Structure 1
């Protein structure tokens, strides 16, 4: 007999920790739907994210290097898949809800603009007096409003817990879990894991891309970055001399393994000390329970500073990205004067959201490739 949703929910109750977010305890969806027959609510959410247009567009959006720079360099899509994999590993070890955490990880960058974080900065500046632009909040708008796939509701109508997990930056006044008689300060552990897995992923894999591009060197990393030096010694002790590509791969693998082990052990101890017994107990905590140890956090800050100095602001990366985001500003100003040039859906939202927000949404949804093609169509080839 096929395994039903009710059976899957029962398996969760039997195998997950008491402070996990159980599918059967979901606060539901904004628009009522019949429950899935063979999937849990969060498994349905995961499938909806994967089948969205916004998810497919991530293939052509910048992670660090402009899309198309190199066949082996990461895009926003490959980054997202790697975040989801690390998220599942951590949640499985902590006996949390893997399906919920994976869904949040897969959706966390749906709202990212073209041209990476620099694209986000320029859109936020252009929208400064009109509500700003922040990619986490825009991810939420995509799944709640902008995706148009279903006949009975806008967006993807994801469950409340997934939408809660997409908002990272909130105050004590606007936390999505806050309600009468419930002074929430944190999100569920699954959302916290997805957030930290994002950091583990982009630092370790940006190292890989930096080495692959030739902008970083193992010699300099061994000299300046303790976390690299530690992993190198571990790999050399275990395997001896390795070919360059294999050695780099195993060093970065070792860094990820050390990060994951540290997070699992530190988080398990913090959960024990907090004495939480339910997902809502977690939400009442004043600080995230999913954390690095202080020692690991210090090593990560050292790595982050090194990457900013030697990779993210390297002229080879920074220069093309700056030129690309200038295209966004020029397109924004052009569409303000010619709003009939934006897409049909964006024009429809203009009546409700206003011209600037509709144009910002339209630009944020573009891939790197389409933004450059559109700029060339309007302004001619760039020098």
Structure 2
């Protein structure tokens, strides 16, 4: 018996009914020889960790535009926090930790430079619209590995695609593990963005809604602890009644939703960041405009996309992959003078 088969056997013995067993995966688009040491989801996790798109997350901002402090979150540290929250929840419920980890690490690979401002610009630019969750799937299926993709399992792709959104009626991931990542993403970013906003002087502790703090807790760690415990307890209780859906209790879920709404009004779309958001839109729009005029300046892979899927798609893929630093450097190279003009 191989190490992989021992892990698969351990999963069958320890995970709950409804968990995604590695041995029962729907497989990959291109069939592969099974690894002797790692399950399919462990293989996916490792491919994601070692891909270039993952490394670029360290230079993509989470909320703030070009912050210079060492302690602000980036898209990479956000991803690691989501993974930590999701794995804790998965273990608490009895789900496949490896699948959760793979989805969590890949969920934001398609995010654009300058946080949600970048997504807004590309959404207006691309005729069929742009959503970072769909772009994350495109990254791992089409753009990574020199255009070959990572050939991830169906369950990981499904979890990436449906990680986004918090409103009722939005489609859920087919696995409970994918649903865990969706909640973990919200739990992580709402709380760490509060921490960063207070550090940046954009928000004061006393401005946080007191009724919400009474339910969730006054500190970042207490709120995360409340949310994680509630989602484990509520989901586990529902599963005992044969309701296979990851969820929070009504009161805790409403408190998280209200806290998220508060952050959108006060910080994400607030007036204090409007000037910086407008600057970011200006930079991105001009970089897009340049490559629409001069597509021959893009790397070879994107020229192939031009031929197969059109110029608009190729430019969107290229710009979406840029980190904040790379996008700013590109803008400066294209539009700023190289010498002082007297």
> Counterpart in 2 of 1:113?
112
Would you say 1:332 and 2:288 are equivalent positions? yes
Q: 1:268 aligns with which of 217, 236, 257?
A: 236
Residues 51-70 of structure 1 correspond to what in structure 2 (within 5 A)? 51-70=50-69
Which whole-Å CA distance do the structure 1 matches of 2:205 and 2:268 have between them?
17
**Cα deviation digits, residues 86-145 of structure 1 (max 9, x gap):** 000000000000000110011000000111111101101011x3x221111111111111
Deviation of 1:186 after TM superposition, in Å, equals: 5.0
Which whole-Å CA distance do the structure 1 matches of 2:138 and 2:217 have between them?
43
Which runs of 5 or more structure 2 residues have no equivalent in the other structure?
A: 165-170, 338-342
Aligned partners of 1:67 and 1:75 also within 8 Å: no
Q: 1:196 aligns with which of 160, 175, 183?
A: 183
Residues 164-313 of structure 1 correspond to what in structure 2 (within 5 A)? 164-168=158-162, 186-221=173-208, 224-230=209-215, 251-273=219-241, 275=242, 282=244, 289-313=245-269
Please, which moves more after superposition, 77-86 or 59-68?
59-68
> Counterpart in 1 of 2:168?
none
Deviation of 1:68 after TM superposition, in Å, equals: 3.7
Deviation of 1:229 after TM superposition, in Å, equals: 4.2
Deviation of 1:3 after TM superposition, in Å, equals: 6.2
Deviation of 1:219 after TM superposition, in Å, equals: 2.1
> Counterpart in 1 of 2:122?
123
Which whole-Å CA distance do the structure 2 matches of 1:319 and 1:147 have between them?
34
> Counterpart in 2 of 1:341?
297
TM-score for the superposition, normalised by structure 1: 0.82
TM-align CA RMSD: 2.0
Would you say 1:139 and 2:136 are equivalent positions? yes
Aligned partners of 1:60 and 1:67 also within 8 Å: no
Residue 210 of structure 1 aligns to a residue whose secondary structure is helix
> Counterpart in 1 of 2:15?
16
Aligned partners of 2:139 and 2:149 also within 8 Å: yes
TM-score for the superposition, normalised by structure 2: 0.92
Which whole-Å CA distance do the structure 2 matches of 1:208 and 1:364 have between them?
27
Deviation of 1:309 after TM superposition, in Å, equals: 2.5
Q: Measured at CA, do residues 23 and 362 of structure 1 come closer, stay the same or move farther in structure 2, by a change above 3 Å? A: same
